[in-house]
Amino acid sequence: MHVHNDEKFLSCRLRFRSSCPFAGRAQGEAQVSRALQDRYSILVHGGAFTDRRYLLGNTQLELIRSVVAHAREELAAGAAALDVVVAAIVKLEDSGLLDAGKGSFRNAANFTEMDAALMEGHTGKGGAVAAMQRLKNPIRAARIVLEKTPHVMFAGPVGEDIMVGLGAESVDDPATYFVPCAAPKRADIGGPALGTVGAVALDRYGHLVAGTSTGGYPGKMPGRVGDTPIIGASTFANERCAISATGLGERFILRSVARDIAMRSEYSNVPLQAAADYVIEELIGKIDRADGAIIAIGREGEIVLSGANIAGMPHGYASWSVDVTVGFALA
């Protein structure tokens, strides 16, 4: 599958942040310990689709294109990966075109329950929310957890109250604000119709961040929490990579997919793409006969996509060396 890793950018084109006009835009002086580098990458997904008939159309791809183009500009100007990932996911949540935020599917009891997670690699900090019913932007709440609490995950109505108390925006009337996106209901295709969103980014400080947000499956049991808010299952970042996943959440939880990919790559010293292909194609695809996909960025800015048993995944990417590119196909 795709890897873009231009080796010539590996060497020496570093400028020190003391001379950089954008250094003050990073996440905080204490966290900015590296030289400013020329490399930066952004990769965004709009969920894995199991049936070609229901791949989303140009509207969604154009949305992803504009999100990626803006993110690329921000990263080039020295924005922090955390800001870029959150901003990208907020736009997808607000669009109503995908299964996250406004466009979230409803559960079997006909109300919305959303999950989201965020992790930054250089600090090892994570934040997540699960089963949120009225938050406008679950990914912003995940950031609140990461930045303003000593915890990693808040869940359910009490957790939601805490998030609102800490500044998360809630909608007045969830039943009218959340309108399931136009993808088909699960029963129509005998399997999940997905539209989870995610973003991973490498910024010019060498920091990697991953985020994922979803309304989960249409018709899921009330109270069900999927893989999206589980750090290590569908969202993971460290100093070597950032990963966001979409797919059959129960299998992604049980296999700790995102962290497994990261650790296989690190411990076996294999490229991120090879580790992702093994976990997704062999374990999730062949052994589990499940479906799903991941997006990942490595510390050299390489773009990684891998999927199993899916028709496609709307996605877009760009980097210091690759122009904005969008598509469905992973091979």
Catalytic residues: 196
Task: Please pick, from the candidates 27, 60, 95, 228, the single residue that binds ligand ASP as defined by CB under 6 A.
Answer: 228
Closest residue to ligand ASP: CB criterion = 249
Task: Please pick, from the candidates 37, 246, 265, 306, the single residue that binds ligand ASP as defined by CB under 6 A.
Answer: 246
Enclosing H/E stretch for 141: helix 138-148
Region near ligand ASP per CB under 6 A, out of 13-21, 131-139, 166-174, 224-232:
224-232
Distance in Å, CB of 224 to ligand ASP, minimum? 8
Closer to ligand ASP by Cβ: residue 32 or 114: 114
Token pair listed for 318: 């760009």
Question: Which positions ≥6 away from 231 have C-beta within 8 Å?
Answer: 117, 119, 126, 128, 152, 153, 259
Task: Please pick, from the candidates 249, 285, 312, 316, the single residue that binds ligand ASP as defined by CB under 6 A.
Answer: 249
Task: Please pick, from the candidates 93, 227, 291, 300, the single residue that binds ligand ASP as defined by CB under 6 A.
Answer: 227
Region near ligand ASP per CB under 6 A, out of 27-35, 135-143, 174-182, 214-222:
214-222
The CA–CA distances, whole Å, from 148 to 32, 79, 155, 162 equal 19, 21, 16, 11
Binding to ligand ASP by residue 214, rule CB under 6 A? yes
Binding to ligand ASP by residue 194, rule CB under 6 A? yes
Binding to ligand ASP by residue 216, rule CB under 6 A? yes
Token pair listed for 225: 């929490």
How many residues at the interface with ligand ASP, by CB under 6 A? Answer: 13
Task: Please pick, from the candidates 159, 247, 301, 316, the single residue that binds ligand ASP as defined by CB under 6 A.
Answer: 247
Question: Which positions ≥6 away from 213 have C-beta within 8 Å?
Answer: 89, 92, 93, 100, 101, 114, 115, 116, 138, 139, 142, 196, 197, 198, 228
Q: Strand 125-132 to strand 114-120: parallel, antiparallel, or no bridges (unpaired)?
A: antiparallel
- d(CA 175, CA 320) in angstroms, rounded, equals 42
Closer to ligand ASP by Cβ: residue 37 or 214: 214
Distance in Å, CB of 239 to ligand ASP, minimum? 25
Question: 290-329: which residues touch ligand ASP (CB under 6 A)?
Answer: none
- The 3-state DSSP class for residue 111 equals coil
Phi, psi of 310 (to 5 degrees): -125, 160
- d(CA 74, CA 52) in angstroms, rounded, equals 33
Chain residues binding ligand ASP by CB under 6 A are: 47, 99, 194, 196, 214, 216-217, 226-228, 246-247, 249
